Amino acid sequence: MKKYYMFFGEGSKVNQIICAILINLPVFVYGAAIGWMSPMTLLLQSKDSPTETPLTDTEVSWMAAVSYLVCVVFDFVMAFLCDRIGRKLTLIFMSAMGAVCWIIKLSSLSTWAFILARAAVGVTMAGAYVTCPLYTKEISEDSIRGVLGTLVILFHTTGNLFLYVIGDYLSYHTILWVCLSLPTIHLVLFMMMPESPSFLVRSGKEEEAKRVLAWLRCRSEEDTEVRRELQVIKDEQTKDEKSSNFVLKAVLSDKILFRAFRIAMVATLSREVCGAIPVLNFAGDIFNMASQGSGLQLTPNQQAMMLGAVQVAGSALASSIVEKTGRKPLLFSTSLVSGLSMCGLATYFLAKQLGFFAPDWLPIFTLCLCIFCDAAGLQPVSVILTSEIFSFKYRGTIMATTMATASVADFLQMLFFKPLASIVGIHIAFYFFGFVCIISSVYVLLVIPETRSRSIEEIHLDLRTKKEKALDDSANLKKIEALEA
């Protein structure tokens, strides 16, 4: 019997952790690409811009928005590639596109080059929230899949903060070379990582799947736990073969799958319409208003670094407690607190408008609380939940559908938030976000099942109504009676 562990004890989780970190390294690169907009927009629109003429607001708006439009299409492309060529090759393609983004920026200072580079970011955005969560889930054992699943948000927020910091200290071209080095290093290192065991089984490579599982679990190929887990993957895919070949048709026609799909969509929309996106975009104005009379003066990039640090703190907290608290309590509490913080922020604006006293620290506190809750629960748990409530056959398509929906929601918020806020009042907008979050917390409490350390069969059993469970029990009882007779 071969041993796939040397320095670590049998059953060690270290290989899964190494693999998950390398899977999510392109998310760090994506986070840096998103964070690049904050310090570099100020530079590119200033008189010291490295371009011949400073960029206009329209050009910057297209740079910011184009990645979301590209992401809508590539969500489905990445899901298709995941199922066709495998998780590993798709991730390598995603990392290569991350490198392309920085190469284009190094090659040209033209506006078209900036927009094209941001379009490449849309591809990595799709991969970050379709390929990486799928891949991470399929290499993780049940006891740590939640912790490893939160890495996608931790790496995203850390990438943001990394760029905010170096953007304040390094030159324009130095930043680009530093960022290009990251996907380049990843492409070399990831060649050594294995394909997902689930994809290998689907491809008929059962022996290779067993070797990969043995390496990931630090056990021998003949270990009982490895053989059991391999059988679970085979049983899951055998069950999938009985359903319709058209994934969305199967989801819409099957009651349990449709309920799971509805949960995934509600969780996704709740995280996108919690107020975090407009709060991040409106942060400068909020900080400026809050600083009046308080003595707090922060530059735009210092504001970005402060929010980036809050995001990293939230995602780090999620990584450390998600397996202890479970998905449901964490999602419920962060939804509720985020809703209350949005209502507090709205009340501040309303009080100021009506001429009443409102403490200057309130908008800063509520803004940071909203961002913290978004990173600590709404973002990571919704991604983990979606990957856990569907089997291999449906996982890629559902992740693509929910991510495409999220991209459209983000694009519309970026486009219409400020005009609508000016028309109806900023307090109405934030009361709306608060209402969405509070309703979401009630939905989590009443509808969403706990998925921590549970199989898909156990999760889907919770999605059955009492009547359906009673009918199943009755049918099983009749089968037992028939066998005894």
Return the amino acid letter for 251: V
In the structure, what pLDDT confidence band is assigned to residue 96 with cuts at 50, 70 and 90? very high
In the structure, what pLDDT confidence band is assigned to residue 200 with cuts at 50, 70 and 90? very high
In the structure, what pLDDT confidence band is assigned to residue 285 with cuts at 50, 70 and 90? low
What is the reported pTM?
0.83
State the average pLDDT over residues 358-364. 81
pLDDT at 396: 86
Quote the tokens at residue 302.
Answer: 């210092």
**pLDDT above 90 as % of the chain:** 37
Quote the tokens at residue 441.
Answer: 């917390």
The torsion defined by the Cα of 272, 363, 337 and 368, in degrees rounded to 10, comes to 70
Tell me: pLDDT of 222 over 80.
yes
Q: What is the Cα–Cα distance from 450 to 53, expressed in whole angstroms? A: 54
CATH placement of domain 12-193: 1.20.1250.20
Tell me: pLDDT of 79 over 50.
yes
pLDDT at 69: 86
Helix, strand and coil in the chain, % to nearest 5:
80, 0, 20
Widest pairwise Cα distance in the chain: 90
* Fold agreement (12-193, 243-454): yes
Going by C-alpha positions, the residue among 263, 305, 265, 261 that lies closest to residue 283 is 305
To which CATH superfamily is domain 243-454 assigned?
MFS general substrate transporter like domains (1.20.1250.20)
Domain boundaries, the chain: 12-193, 243-454
